[in-house]
């Protein structure tokens, strides 16, 4: 492989890395979710926290993305909404990730 | 009066802001489906194409401020934004620059939360080359006034009163916070007001931005294609602040 090919390869990988970074930012924006007038990230941390607390109580408090307390009285509904939003954003990201992998393989 | 979007739009000799605002309005209608009020002056108002049901508030804007843009200094009519609390007819307002384009309904989610003022304190440079946020430009934690959500509450009123005060004595505050730029910037006025008052909350995710040297080369209503140097990239379904002021002119 000559330097021209290496450069082409490097440029492509740089482009792919940028697209991935931008898509991840888009995913994080999409994961922001309002619940009970508070703002949450529908990410793995929040899902795990709510899932764990739900096993102990049906009524608890959690901190939102701006460190404000939120009273959760229906953890089942909250968890479902978190998972739905999480999977919606990840599904979109997965599509893009596949496209990028194809681009790389070409 | 519910939730709505407030835009400020004043054409300058160099930039046809009304063209940006027309496109911005189309996006708000498509993705947010909210009421819109445009604060503008008579000269700019006459240039607007028909955009359907939107409200206009005509004012006589102050002039004299300037900004750097692609190697020159150009006029910048950005002083009126400090009056947004008085100008907004809405209980919950999304105050937005007319060069911010929504490609999703993410902002609606923020409207359903409790806040007095909600603003970005982080940005994501879509070129990934960190060309926007310069280092050591002030001693202040910077916020970005491009998208500001506020409610008609006493705390929000206090913040806007402070912004007006900062604007009036901007030279003093600019020195105090060692702000590098001599022109008046709302980003700094908002940041100073929030810093002085210890109020406001921040949008947890950064605002996506395309810097001043990035050209928008294509657009299809759900995303844009842009060029930075020799590199071409695209975004889709992501709200973005575009600093290229000429892409809607054609």
Mean pLDDT by 10 residues, chain A (106 residues): 84 85 93 96 98 96 96 97 97 89 72
d(CA B142, CA B194): 10
d(CA B110, CA B178): 32
Domain assignment of residue A19, yes or no: no
Domain assignment of residue B165, yes or no: yes
Percentage of residues in chain A having pLDDT higher than 70: 97
Domain assignment of residue A17, yes or no: no
pLDDT greater than 90 at residue B135: no
ipTM of the complex: 0.81
Place of tokens 């810093």: B195
pLDDT in tens, B7-65: 999 999 999 999 999 999 999 999 999 999 999 999 999 999 988 899 999 999 898 89
Cβ contacts from A onto B, under 8 A: 63
Say what the pLDDT of residue B133 is: 61
Write b or e for each residue in B84-115: b if 16 or more Cβ atoms lie within 10 A of its Cβ, otherwise e: bbebbebebbbbbbbbbbbbbebbbbbbebbb
pLDDT greater than 80 at residue B129: no
Range of the domain at B207: 3-242
Domain assignment of residue B248, yes or no: no
Q: Which residues of B touch A12 (CB under 8 A)?
A: none
Domain assignment of residue B250, yes or no: no
Range of the domain at A90: 29-105
Q: How far off is chain B from A26, nearest CA to CA, in Å? A: 6
Place of tokens 């599509």: A95
- Inter-chain touch B238–A26, beta carbons under 8 Å: yes
Say what the pLDDT of residue B231 is: 81
Domain assignment of residue A54, yes or no: yes
Domain assignment of residue B76, yes or no: yes
Domain assignment of residue B188, yes or no: yes
Domain assignment of residue A24, yes or no: no
* B114 contacts chain A (CB < 8 A): yes
Q: Which residues of B touch A65 (CB under 8 A)?
A: 204
Q: Which residues of A touch B104 (CB under 8 A)?
A: 29-30
Domain count along chain B: 1
Rounded to 5 degrees, φ, ψ at B247 are: -70, -20
Searching chain B, which residue's CA lies closest to the CA of residue A92?
Answer: B237
Mean pLDDT score of chain B, rounded to an integer? 92
Q: Is A3 exposed, middle or buried (0-12, 13-18, 19+ CB in 10 A)?
A: exposed
pLDDT greater than 90 at residue B69: no
Can you give the CATH number for the domain in which B206 is found? 3.90.550.10
- Inter-chain touch B110–A26, beta carbons under 8 Å: no
Q: pTM for the full model? A: 0.90
Say what the pLDDT of residue A84 is: 97
Domain assignment of residue B203, yes or no: yes
Cα B192 to chain center, whole Å? 17
Domain count along chain A: 1
**B141 touches B121 (CB < 8 A):** yes
Mutation for B interface: A12, A22, A36, A40, most B CBs within 10 A: A22
Q: Which of residues 52-111 of B touch A (CB under 8 A)?
A: 104, 106, 109-111
Q: How far off is chain A from B230, nearest CA to CA, in Å? A: 11
């Amino acid at each position: 492989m000559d330097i021209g090919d290496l450069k082409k390869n490097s440029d492509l990988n740089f482009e792919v890395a940028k697209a991935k970074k931008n898509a991840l930012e888009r995913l994080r924006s999409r994961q922001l979710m309002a619940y009970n007038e508070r703002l949450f990230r529908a990410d793995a941390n929040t899902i795990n926290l709510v899932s764990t607390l739900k096993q102990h109580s049906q009524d608890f408090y959690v901190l939102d993305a701006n460190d404000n307390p939120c009273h959760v009285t229906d953890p089942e509904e909250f968890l479902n909404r978190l998972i739905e939003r999480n999977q919606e954003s990840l599904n979109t990201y997965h599509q893009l990730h596949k496209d990028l992998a194809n681009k790389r393989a070409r | 009066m519910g939730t709505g979007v407030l835009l400020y739009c004043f054409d300058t000799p160099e930039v046809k802001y009304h063209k940006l605002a027309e496109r911005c309005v189309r996006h708000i209608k498509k993705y947010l489906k909210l009421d819109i009020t445009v604060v503008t002056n008579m000269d700019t108002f006459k240039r607007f194409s028909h955009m359907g049901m939107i409200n206009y508030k005509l004012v006589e804007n102050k002039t004299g401020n300037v900004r750097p843009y692609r190697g020159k200094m150009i006029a910048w009519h950005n002083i009126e934004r400090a009056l947004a609390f008085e100008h907004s007819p809405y209980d919950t307002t999304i105050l937005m620059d007319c060069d911010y384009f929504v490609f999703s309904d993410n902002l609606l989610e923020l409207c359903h939360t409790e806040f007095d003022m909600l603003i970005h304190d982080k940005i994501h440079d879509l070129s990934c080359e960190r060309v926007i946020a310069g280092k050591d430009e002030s001693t202040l934690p910077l916020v970005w006034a491009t998208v500001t959500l506020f409610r008609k509450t006493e705390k929000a009123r206090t913040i806007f009163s402070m912004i007006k005060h900062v604007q009036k004595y901007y030279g003093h505050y600019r020195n105090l916070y060692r702000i590098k730029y001599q022109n008046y910037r709302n980003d700094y006025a908002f940041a100073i007001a929030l810093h002085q008052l210890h109020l406001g909350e921040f949008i947890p995710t950064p605002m996506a931005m395309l810097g001043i040297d990035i050209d928008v080369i294509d657009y299809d209503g759900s995303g844009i294609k842009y060029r930075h140097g020799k590199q071409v990239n695209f975004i889709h379904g992501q709200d973005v602040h575009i600093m290229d002021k000429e892409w809607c002119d054609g």
